[in-house]
Amino acid sequence: MKRDYLGWAALVAALIGTASAEYSLARAVGFGTVLAGCVPAALDIYALRAFRTGRDVAAVVVALIAVNAAAHLVASGQLPVSVPLIVAVSAIAPLVLWRVHALSKAVNVSEKPQEAPKVVRESRESEKPAERRTEIPSAASKAPDADPLLSDARKLDEEIRTRTGKPVSLRQMQSHFRIGQARAQRIRAALAT
């Protein structure tokens, strides 16, 4: 498995660099030493989760920029510590909690195993009790190789398996190819065969 050491080094350096400003901002608005450390920790964990899932990346980058800019403005005396600033810094932890929870739900939903075919109960006049049969698959699911995205999906799956050790998730396919869930499920089923 190939590792991107330079990418990780840049990420760690950037997070450490932003952490000191985030900590000093939290201290400036009245957080204690321990609680002030939670602000950069929460933002960094959110950043790592966003980068890993490929979602919320723009939002986390904007949050990191805004918090760092505010910290430097407060430190230079350009921005006074005020009620709106204290409220904004106090809102960081709950907002991060919400977004990390939403991102973890998205990851968990996309990694659930696929369900078995539904069992449909039919009642016929001549038969009692009702006969059980499995649902007839749609024409699209009968020929999953017909999907023109299948070869690209195989490449994406291989890339993600190499990077994470896990198969491509439905969400990753939906986001990458800009397709719906049903089509992503058919392609993923074709990848498994």
Same domain, 88 and 145: no
Q: What is the pLDDT of residue 167?
A: 87
- In the numeric block, which tokens belong to residue 73? 């403005």
Which CATH number belongs to the domain containing residue 185 in this structure? 1.10.10
Residue numbers of the domain that contains 181: 138-192
Q: How many domains does the chain have?
A: 2
Residue 123 maps to a domain: no
Task: For residues 169 and 81, state if they share a domain.
Answer: no
State whether 161 and 87 are in the same domain: no
- Provide the whole-model pTM: 0.53
Taking the CA atoms of 91, 94, 100 and 103 in sequence, report the sign of the dihedral they define: negative
Instruction: Examine the domain organization and report whether 14 and 65 are in the same domain.
Output: yes
Q: What is the dihedral angle through the alpha carbons of 80, 85, 90, 92, rounded to the nearest 10 degrees? A: -120
95/149 same-domain check: no
DSSP 154-170: HHHHHHHHHHHSSPPPH
* 183 or 82, greater pLDDT: 82
Q: Are residues 31 and 103 in the same domain?
A: yes
User: 146 or 90: which carries more pLDDT confidence?
Assistant: 90
Q: What is the mean pLDDT of the chain?
A: 81
Are 92 and 49 contained in the same domain? Answer: yes
Helices of type H across 91-149: 92-110, 139-142
Burial 162-185 (b: 16+ CB within 10 A, else e): eeeeeebbbbbbbbbeebeeebbb
| 105 and 142 co-located in one domain | no
Per-residue pLDDT of 14-40, as tens digits, reads: 888 899 999 999 999 999 999 999 999
Domain assignment present for residue 126? The answer is no
Do 96 and 146 share a domain, yes or no? no
129 lies in some domain: no
- Relative orientation angle of helices 92-110 and 33-53, to the nearest 10 degrees: 30
Residue 127 lies in a domain: no
Q: What is the pLDDT of residue 7?
A: 84
